[in-house]
A = this chain, B = another copy of it.
Amino acid sequence: MEHRIKKLEAILLNDRFAAHNEIRLVSVSVGEAVAEMLVSEKHLNGVDIIQGGALFTLADFAFAAASNSHGRIAVASNASITFFKGISSGKLTAHARELNSGRTIAHYQVDIEDEEGNKIALFNGTAFRKGDY
């Protein structure tokens, strides 16, 4: 189990898109994960608020961590995101939780909040499981 989490952490550290966008893993356990991002100018869109893709990437990274936490590679099938509030600075935290986990399909919810606990975005993702890692 601990060995499995170590292997998973190595996979997540190898996520170059997350690293390039300064998203980092805070914690991962079975069915759950937390990631964070310090919003800076590189995350902003043309009207100076955080780009939807930056929020999606933060949530997707936490989702990947949680959905791969059972010792098998899980691949995203689809996801949706709802944007509540446009922000342009500060630290964001994404908390992924497993809603349901079948043999091949599993569903996750990710809540993104700012430092004051304001809801920034809500992400729901579906993953399907492939072989062991």
Q: Give A contacts to B, CB under 8 Å.
A: 10-18, 20-21, 41-48, 50-54, 56-58, 60-61, 64, 73, 75-86, 99-100, 104-105, 107, 109, 119, 122, 124, 126, 128
Chain A binding surface, main DSSP class: mixed
Contacts of A58 in B (CB 8 A): 53
Are A46 and B126 in contact, CB atoms less than 8 angstroms apart?
A: no
- Given known A17-B53, A84-B100, contact A122–B124 (CB-CB < 8 A): yes
Copies of this subunit: 4
Distance from A129 Cβ to chain B, minimum over Cβ atoms (Å):
9
Q: A107 to chain B: which residues have CB within 8 Å?
A: 77-78, 82, 84, 122
Chain B residues, Cβ within 8 Å of A109: 122
- Provide the bound-state CA to CA distance between A88 and B93, in Å: 28
| A126:B82 contact, CB within 8 angstroms | yes
12 A-B pairs besides A15-B46, A52-B60, A57-B57 with CB distance below 8 A are A14-B46, A16-B51, A17-B45, A17-B50, A17-B54, A46-B64, A51-B60, A53-B58, A56-B81, A79-B81, A82-B100, A82-B124
